């Protein structure tokens, strides 16, 4: 019976295998017989308006339905034959992959470099970059750069000596081994500013620096050579060397400013913290490291030694700070007079109306009226240019001071809107991370966007002072990632350079390590 049953199953299985099914690929379009060569075209790079010849096959029979694109921007086809196509580079072209489209089918060609007035600076010697975000930079008088961030290696030099969140370089990015940072920081260094004596205040999200383990609360003072500024204190049992800046916060410090030798910090924190040295444990047998804490939210001012300045945004009767902003502060700028402009996602400051932007007096109170009615959504960054005396705001807002401003707005020094600048309408899922006007009047804009005014621009673009794409300055390719800081310098020929720092990994069709420098010709 078992043999009969198995034979029956075999017969049934064979019958199932004989069943004919519909072809899932039936009805598909026949191949067009078109190929685009990835060989370099002739010429291999050129400015808009130049005719380029690309190699390819099978395009002649589709000459009435073929389209050619330079990184998403259509070029004018001048001639097609059996071996290729001749195309004029359009004015809106940028460096990137070329392609041919016929109907709904696309055929990719080689990368084409568009020449213009903007290029990656070949004199910047960084090849590999950093393995994590680069967030801030300080330039010394001799041109050397001190950069900080979330990285643990730079140019693959960390194998020889650890590079933890801080690195010194030449003006052109070559590593400088004179830095005495030791083990560096155990967490992100986000922001820094210089004291009148040349020492540097560094803030971020870290508790240790070099040999000072668990002795820091997210902010400290460094000597100009990268070593920590230290002092000797009497503990209960002995003397000890500790950071000279004895103060900090319980959360990340995102911005630090120095004015009149006082240090103001802004960030995501709720408490001021300070160590108390010289106390013993309850048995009087060993040292006890006590931490004093005071409620201080988002904004804080320190004396140079780290003590709390209770004259800044502080309620002495309640022994805590005033409420401050009722939402996140994303960025800030300190004016020459010590007033601070904060931007972010909040609607009130110390109980008073403030729609995502507010100017704070030197005592921490609100200076009403700056920015008018403010923005209808988050402002990510605020940047100021000393030469043009203009602010640039970038974010996800659609209105500023009651008028249409799609993620970008230019303000005069008094906080009123500069109406000559008008940003184009963006998509609902696109947002600007950072916008900064350079001294030459051009504006670098970065963010999560793919186009601007129906022109392909991805991650980075250059605008003129009226908000239009700057002619001749949008030839570079796409940027993948985000830019945290744009640092302007000039070269020996007087040309403008823009050092881009952040968390981006590819730009202009080349892999980059969170740092690059642009040259404006």
Task: Assign residue 102 the CATH number of its domain.
Answer: 2.60.40.10
Q: Is residue 138 part of a domain?
A: no
Strand partners, 500: 486, 516
Q: Which pLDDT does position 236 carry in this prediction?
A: 62
Q: Is residue 30 part of a domain?
A: no
Is the per-residue pLDDT at 192 higher than 90?
yes
Q: Which pLDDT does position 331 carry in this prediction?
A: 98
**Is the domain of 272 the same as that of 375?**
no
DSSP state of 147: E
User: Considering 271, 296, 322, which residue would you say is the last residue of a domain?
Assistant: 322
User: Which one, of 400, 369, 518, 374, lies nearest residue 467 by Cα?
Assistant: 400
DSSP state of 13: H
Q: What is the value of pTM for the model shown?
A: 0.91
Task: Please compute the mean of the pLDDT values over residues 460-475 and round it to a whole number.
Answer: 97
**Is the domain of 406 the same as that of 341?**
yes
| Sign of the torsion formed by the C-alpha atoms of 107, 51, 450 and 118 | positive
CATH number of the domain to which 460 belongs: 2.130.10.10
- Neighbouring CB atoms inside 10 A of 47's CB total 14
Percent of the chain with pLDDT over 70: 92
Q: Is residue 393 part of a domain?
A: yes
* Mean model confidence pLDDT for the chain: 92
**Is the domain of 226 the same as that of 256?**
yes
User: Considering 282, 297, 322, which residue would you say is the last residue of a domain?
Assistant: 322
Q: Determine contact, residues 501/145, Cβ cutoff 8 Å.
A: no
Is the per-residue pLDDT at 8 higher than 60?
no
Q: Which pLDDT does position 20 carry in this prediction?
A: 57
CA distance 27 to 246: 75
DSSP state of 414: T
Residue 301 tokens, joined: 């001012």
Q: Determine contact, residues 192/203, Cβ cutoff 8 Å.
A: yes
Residue 319 tokens, joined: 């022994």
- Residue with the two structure tokens 């908000």: 467
**Is the domain of 306 the same as that of 375?**
no
DSSP state of 394: E
**Is the domain of 424 the same as that of 305?**
no
**Is the domain of 352 the same as that of 455?**
yes
Confidence of residue 14 (pLDDT cuts 50, 70, 90): very low
Specify the range with the lowest mean pLDDT, choosing from 2-11, 179-188, 251-260, 370-379: 2-11
- Residue with the two structure tokens 């500069």: 418
Q: Which pLDDT does position 24 carry in this prediction?
A: 57
Task: Please compute the mean of the pLDDT values over residues 289-293 and round it to a whole number.
Answer: 84
CA distance 216 to 289: 12
Strand partners, 42: 53
Percent of the chain with pLDDT over 90: 85
Task: Please compute the mean of the pLDDT values over residues 397-410 and round it to a whole number.
Answer: 96
**Is the domain of 345 the same as that of 357?**
yes
Q: Is residue 104 part of a domain?
A: yes
CA distance 194 to 304: 12
For residue 5, report the phi and psi dihedrals to the nearest 5 degrees. -65, -45
CA distance 311 to 192: 23
Task: Please compute the mean of the pLDDT values over residues 166-194 and round it to a whole number.
Answer: 97
Confidence of residue 335 (pLDDT cuts 50, 70, 90): very high
- H-type alpha helices, 315-470: none
Q: Which is it for strands 45-46 and 105-114: parallel, antiparallel or unpaired?
A: parallel
Q: Determine contact, residues 304/262, Cβ cutoff 8 Å.
A: yes
Q: Which pLDDT does position 6 carry in this prediction?
A: 44
Q: Quote the domain boundaries for residue 41.
A: 35-115
Residue 521 tokens, joined: 């010709």
**Is the domain of 331 the same as that of 467?**
yes
Residue 443 parent element (H or E):
strand 443-448
User: Which one, of 349, 376, 345, 354, lies nearest residue 364 by Cα?
Assistant: 349
Q: Which is it for strands 252-259 and 262-268: parallel, antiparallel or unpaired?
A: antiparallel
Q: Determine contact, residues 177/235, Cβ cutoff 8 Å.
A: no
Give the 3-state secondary structure percentages of the chain, helix then strand then coil, rounded to 5: 5, 45, 50
Q: How many CA within 13 A on the CB side of residue 96?
A: 22
Chain-centre distance of CA 183, in angstroms? 26
**Is the domain of 224 the same as that of 296?**
yes
**Is the domain of 228 the same as that of 279?**
yes
Q: Is residue 353 part of a domain?
A: yes
Is the per-residue pLDDT at 138 higher than 60?
yes
**Is the domain of 184 the same as that of 307?**
yes
User: Considering 296, 322, 348, which residue would you say is the last residue of a domain?
Assistant: 322
CA distances from 294 to 247, 337, 497 (A): 11, 28, 44
Q: Is residue 125 part of a domain?
A: no
CA distance 146 to 139: 6
Q: Which is it for strands 366-367 and 252-259: parallel, antiparallel or unpaired?
A: unpaired
Q: Is residue 135 part of a domain?
A: no
Is the per-residue pLDDT at 121 higher than 90?
yes
Q: Which pLDDT does position 287 carry in this prediction?
A: 63
Confidence of residue 32 (pLDDT cuts 50, 70, 90): confident
Q: Which pLDDT does position 282 carry in this prediction?
A: 61
Structure confidence by residue, pLDDT tens digits, 441-450 = 999 999 999 9
Confidence of residue 290 (pLDDT cuts 50, 70, 90): confident
DSSP state of 397: -
Confidence of residue 7 (pLDDT cuts 50, 70, 90): very low
Q: How many domains does the chain have?
A: 3
Q: Is residue 146 part of a domain?
A: no
**Is the domain of 187 the same as that of 300?**
yes
Confidence of residue 212 (pLDDT cuts 50, 70, 90): very high
Structure confidence by residue, pLDDT tens digits, 367-398 = 999 999 999 999 999 999 999 999 999 999 99
Task: Please compute the mean of the pLDDT values over residues 2-21 and round it to a whole number.
Answer: 47
């Amino acid at each position: 019976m078992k043999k009969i049953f198995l034979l029956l199953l075999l017969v049934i299985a064979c019958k199932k295998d004989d069943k004919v099914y519909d072809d899932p690929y039936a009805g598909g379009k026949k191949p067009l017989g078109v190929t685009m060569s990835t060989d370099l075209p002739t010429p291999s790079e050129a400015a808009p308006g130049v005719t380029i010849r690309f190699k390819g096959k099978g395009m002649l029979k589709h000459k009435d339905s073929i389209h050619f694109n330079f990184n998403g921007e259509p070029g004018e086809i001048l001639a097609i034959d059996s071996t290729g196509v001749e195309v004029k580079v359009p004015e809106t072209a940028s460096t990137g992959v070329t392609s041919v489209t016929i109907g709904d089918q696309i055929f990719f060609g080689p990368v084409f470099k568009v020449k213009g007035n903007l290029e990656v600076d070949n004199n910047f010697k960084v090849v590999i970059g950093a393995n994590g975000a680069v967030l801030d930079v300080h330039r010394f008088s001799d041109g050397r750069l001190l950069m900080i961030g979330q990285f643990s290696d730079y140019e693959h030099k960390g194998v020889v000596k650890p590079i933890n969140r801080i690195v010194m370089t030449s003006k052109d990015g070559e590593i400088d081994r004179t830095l005495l940072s030791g083990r560096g920081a155990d967490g992100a260094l986000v922001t820094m500013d210089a004291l009148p004596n040349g020492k540097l205040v560094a803030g971020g999200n870290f508790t240790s620096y070099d040999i000072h383990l668990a002795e820091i609360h997210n902010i400290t003072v460094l000597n100009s050579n990268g070593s920590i500024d230290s002092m000797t204190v009497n503990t209960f049992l002995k003397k000890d060397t500790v950071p000279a800046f004895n103060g900090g916060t319980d959360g990340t410090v995102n911005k630090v400013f120095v004015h009149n030798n006082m240090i103001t910090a802004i960030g995501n924190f709720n408490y001021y913290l300070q160590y108390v040295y010289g106390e013993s444990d309850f048995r009087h047998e060993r040292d006890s490291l006590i931490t004093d804490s005071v409620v201080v939210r988002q904004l804080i001012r320190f004396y140079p030694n780290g003590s709390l300045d209770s004259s800044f945004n502080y309620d002495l009767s309640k022994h805590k700070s005033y409420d401050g902003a009722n939402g996140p502060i994303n960025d800030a700028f300190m004016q020459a007079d010590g007033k601070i402009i904060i931007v972010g996602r909040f609607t009130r400051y110390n109980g008073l109306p403030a729609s995502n932007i507010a100017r704070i007096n030197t005592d921490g109170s609100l200076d009403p009226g700056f920015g008018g009615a403010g923005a209808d959504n988050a402002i990510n960054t605020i940047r100021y240019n000393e030469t043009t005396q203009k602010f640039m705001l970038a974010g996800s807002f659609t209105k500023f001071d009651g008028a249409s401003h799609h993620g970008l707005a230019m303000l005069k020094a008094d906080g009123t809107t500069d109406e000559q600048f008008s940003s184009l309408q963006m998509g609902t899922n696109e947002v600007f991370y950072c916008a900064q006007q350079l001294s030459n009047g051009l504006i670098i804009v970065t963010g999560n966007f793919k186009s601007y005014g129906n022109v392909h621009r991805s991650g980075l673009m250059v605008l003129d002072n009226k908000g239009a794409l700057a002619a001749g300055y949008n030839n570079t390719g796409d940027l993948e990632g985000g830019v945290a800081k744009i640092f302007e310098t000039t070269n020996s020929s007087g040309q403008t350079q823009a050092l881009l720092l952040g968390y981006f990994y590819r730009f202009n069709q080349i892999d980059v390590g969170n740092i690059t420098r642009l040259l404006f010709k």
